[in-house]
């Protein structure tokens, strides 16, 4: 857990409405953030190599957002300097019949990254206290128990060497409208437009309430939540990369020792 103004502090009551979606932190604009962003992306790439080499830790990055919140864009930009061999992206879509035949965490546990790897969840196990709650796919007495399940599951992963960092990419309703409209007007983005997103948009307030409860119930020291102002894509990317760099530095990783006798080898 890193010191960040966007951390949902464990044990403290958090109000999602108190976070400005258009915040730009210490930067006046995108140009002012360019150097810091590039340095952060490079540092993340360097640390990922160290994570892979040491192979003592795994990093699990959870991304959640409202529709158009920027999960795909975050993955594309923030992890642009990361070696693809050391990174696994899992997108959790509607469960298959096989997945539905198991408990709701079964498919999630199977996708947790092994030591040495970064795993990115594009949506996650939190859909079970968000979508399933809002759409009333399960009754309240079912989804309300899942906060404890999730906390215990994440505690297990942390105890076994998985460092967990969770980001809610927080956009305004007006910004979502602008992005949806942009998709409709751009022929190259039409494939991304799903009319069903408009139905989800009608449930905006219900989703905000569900997110606030998930953030309050499940931000812990071993698996903290960060609420990232995401109206400005460039700032969203900097916040995510900055938190990840600080988190990985906190692991105090080291490259493995070289095999003995390498200093005497002569390659002819």
* pLDDT (0 to 100) of residue 228: 98
In a domain, 195, yes or no: yes
* pLDDT (0 to 100) of residue 180: 95
Question: Residue 207 burial (CB < 10 Å; 0-12/13-18/19+)?
Answer: middle
- Average confidence (pLDDT) over 218-236: 98
Task: Give the pLDDT confidence of 121-177 residue by residue, as tens digits.
Answer: 999 999 999 999 999 999 999 999 999 999 999 999 999 999 999 999 999 999 999
- The CATH number assigned to the domain holding 127 equals 3.40.50.300
At residue 1 the predicted structure's pLDDT band, cuts being 50, 70 and 90, is confident
At residue 116 the predicted structure's pLDDT band, cuts being 50, 70 and 90, is very high
In a domain, 245, yes or no: yes
At residue 205 the predicted structure's pLDDT band, cuts being 50, 70 and 90, is very high
Give the three-state DSSP class for 61. Answer: strand
Q: Which domain holds residue 212?
A: 16-251
Angstrom distances, CA of residue 169 to CA of 47, 68, 75, 83, 185:
23, 10, 12, 24, 24
Question: Residue 228 burial (CB < 10 Å; 0-12/13-18/19+)?
Answer: buried
* pLDDT (0 to 100) of residue 258: 87
Q: Which residues are CB-contacts of 69 (< 8 A; sequence separation ≥ 6)?
A: 169, 170, 171, 176, 230
Give the DSSP H or E segment for 169.
strand 162-170
In a domain, 258, yes or no: no
In a domain, 70, yes or no: yes
In a domain, 232, yes or no: yes
Q: How many domains does the chain have?
A: 1
In a domain, 6, yes or no: no
| Whole-structure pTM value | 0.95
In a domain, 3, yes or no: no
In a domain, 128, yes or no: yes
- Average confidence (pLDDT) over 188-213: 92
The string of DSSP codes covering 74-142 is HHHHHTTTS-GGGEEEEE--SPPHHHHTS-TTHHHHHTSPPTT-EEEEES-GGGGGTHHHHTTSS-HHH
Task: Give the pLDDT confidence of 10-68 residue by residue, as tens digits.
Answer: 999 999 999 999 999 999 999 999 999 999 999 999 999 999 999 999 999 999 999 99
| pLDDT(194) > 90 | no
């Amino acid at each position: 857990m890193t010191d960040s103004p966007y951390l949902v502090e464990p044990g403290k009551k958090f109000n999602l409405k108190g976070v400005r979606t258009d915040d730009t932190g210490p930067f006046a604009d995108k140009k002012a953030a360019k150097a810091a962003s590039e340095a952060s992306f490079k540092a993340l790439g360097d640390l990922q190599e160290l994570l892979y080499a040491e192979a003592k830790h795994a990093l699990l990055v959870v991304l959640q957002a409202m529709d158009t919140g920027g999960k795909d864009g975050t993955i594309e930009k923030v992890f642009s300097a990361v070696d693809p061999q050391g990174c696994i992206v899992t997108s959790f879509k509607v469960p298959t019949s096989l997945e539905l035949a198991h408990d709701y965490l079964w498919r999630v546990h199977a996708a947790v990254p092994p030591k040495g790897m970064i795993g990115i969840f594009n949506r996650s196990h939190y859909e079970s206290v968000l979508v399933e709650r809002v759409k009333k796919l399960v009754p309240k007495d079912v989804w309300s128990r899942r906060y404890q399940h999730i906390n215990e599951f994440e505690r297990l992963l942390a105890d076994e060497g998985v460092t967990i960092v969770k980001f809610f990419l927080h956009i305004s309703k007006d910004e979502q409208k602008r992005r949806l409209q942009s998709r409709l007007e751009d022929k190259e983005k039409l494939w991304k437009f799903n009319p069903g997103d408009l139905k989800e948009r009608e449930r905006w307030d219900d989703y905000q309430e569900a997110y606030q409860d998930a953030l309050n119930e499940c931000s812990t020291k071993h698996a903290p939540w960060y609420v990232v102002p995401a109206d400005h894509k460039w700032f969203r990317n900097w916040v995510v990369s900055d938190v990840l760099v600080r988190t990985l530095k906190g692991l105090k990783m080291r490259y493995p020792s070289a095999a003995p006798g390498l200093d005497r080898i002569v390659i002819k």
